[in-house]
Structure 1
Amino acid sequence: MSKRLFDLLCAALGLLVLAPLLLLAALWIRLDSPGPALFRQTRVGRFGVPFTIHKFRTMRVAPGAEITVGADPRITRAGRWLRATKLDELPQLWDVLRGAMSLVGPRPEVPRYVALYPEALREVVLSVRPGITDPASLAFSHEAELLAAASDPEREYCEVILPAKLRLSADYAARASLAADLRLILRTLGRVLRG
């Protein structure tokens, strides 16, 4: 089975089975704070093509930094739970279904961080569809806490965390296979279930 067919089947089945949960989450978000249920943002996809990513909104609608640091005061009550359970990522199944993303692949970044990618790594990382999960996501699952401990979170992200994530993403892209994807999906589900 090809990776794309696997993505299509899993995303379609996931959206169908999880539809009641998705509707309840959307309703809770709308009741919890003013604003839309979904958060949309431009990210950089395969071959550097921009696309709109969809997530459940976990923050108040207000201007702010593109990175989340620790107990960010913008995070709503519903948002804290959605982030802790990773359920805020579920709308990305739609992005997988429409072909902008894959279940497994390097997490897509905003254009201003992609501009910092070294050319050699940029080409490799952007050669595959971005994903909902990948080795870097698992390695940096507590990224917000790491940034909260830094004296300059933006600098810490750009100079320490981003380069480390890029190396992991490039390694994944160079060795991507359906078997590796299945292992990463199982590891991600295990991490989510363990909290």
Structure 2
Amino acid sequence: MSARFRPYDVVKRGLDIVAAAVALVVLSPIIVATAVLVAVRLGRPVVFAQERPGKDGRIFTLYKFRSMRSVDEARGWVTDADRLTPFGVRLRSTSLDELPSLWNVLRGDMSVVGPRPLLVEYLERYSPEQARRHEVRPGITGLAQVTGRNAISWESKFAQDVRYVDRRSVGLDLRIVARTIGSVVKRDGISAEGHVTMTKFGEAHG
């Protein structure tokens, strides 16, 4: 059966709607509290919005809580390392910055589980095999995230993404969600070695 469609995809969309709606209601106190903390610690805007490619490469606007200070050359806040504060590190390590993405799931831009939505500029850099990660909706978490997150190479990430596309099922999704919770608790793989987050795809490591 083609990896581009499976009966589970229809069921999964229903599960995504229910999961996102319930999570937005249940987690609303945490969402509000996080928004207030971001406003106090980092200022406005509280929510970071950026265009990302989704299923079949279609562009959508991704929403996350802001975790970095704005660029300010006068203060020397230029690189990610300069702009990422201890508060931002904690926000990312707990994955609380991802909570606004539940709105993307509800809208249909994303799924709870799937390959992470990356930068638009990467679209032209993928090999045909790597580009298969866009055969499904991107996810808040995915197989690559529970197999090392930012601590593994881009090639390994993409291999895991394509593996997910080919093997996606309710059982695999449940295992990924369970492993995600464990990774968040342990705070594993938050950054690549020698970097505060991850080097850009296509850039030299070092």
Say whether the fold is shared (TM-score over 0.5). Answer: yes
Return the offset for 1:165.
0.9
Corresponding residue of 1:130: 138
Q: Superposition RMSD on alpha carbons, in Å?
A: 1.7
Matched, 1:44 2:44: no
Corresponding residue of 2:192: none
Aligned-pair CA distance for 1:140: 2.9
Q: Distance in 2 between matches of 1:164 and 1:178?
A: 23
Any idea what the Cα deviations from partners look like across 1:115-162, whole Å, max 9, x if unmatched? 21102331x21110000111111223343xx7xxxxxxxxxxxxxx22
Structure 1 segment 55-70 matched on structure 2, within 5 A: 55-62=64-71
Query: Could you state the TM-score of these two structures normalised by the residue count of structure 2?
Result: 0.78
Alignment match of 1:5 (pick from 11, 14, 18): 14
**Separation in 1 of the partners of 2:101 and 2:42?**
22
Q: Which runs of 5+ in 1 are unaligned?
A: 147-160
Q: How many residues align?
A: 173
Separation in structure 2 between the aligned mates of residue 38 and residue 190 of structure 1, nearest angstrom = 26
Q: 1:175 and 1:9 mapped to 2: Cα distance?
A: 23
| Percent of aligned pairs sharing the same letter | 39
What is the CA-CA distance between 1:113 and the residue it aligns to? 1.6
Residues 47, 126 of structure 1: 8 Å contact kept: yes
1:167 to 150, 159, 168: 159
1:190 is aligned to 2:182: yes
Tell me the residue number matched to 2:37. Answer: 28
What do the CA deviations read for 1:138-194 (whole angstroms, capped 9, x no partner)? 223343xx7xxxxxxxxxxxxxx2222111100100111111101100110122123
Q: Deviations over 1:33-64 (max 9, x none)?
A: 23211111111100010111111100011285
| Amino acid aligned to 1:140 | G
Query: Which residue number corresponds to residue 94 of structure 1?
Result: 103
TM-score normalised to structure 1 length: 0.83
Q: Give the gaps of 5 or more residues in structure 2.
A: 1-7, 73-77, 188-206
Shift of 1:114: 2.3
CA distance in 2, matches of 1:187, 1:120: 26
Contact 1:28 1:78 in 2 (8 A): no
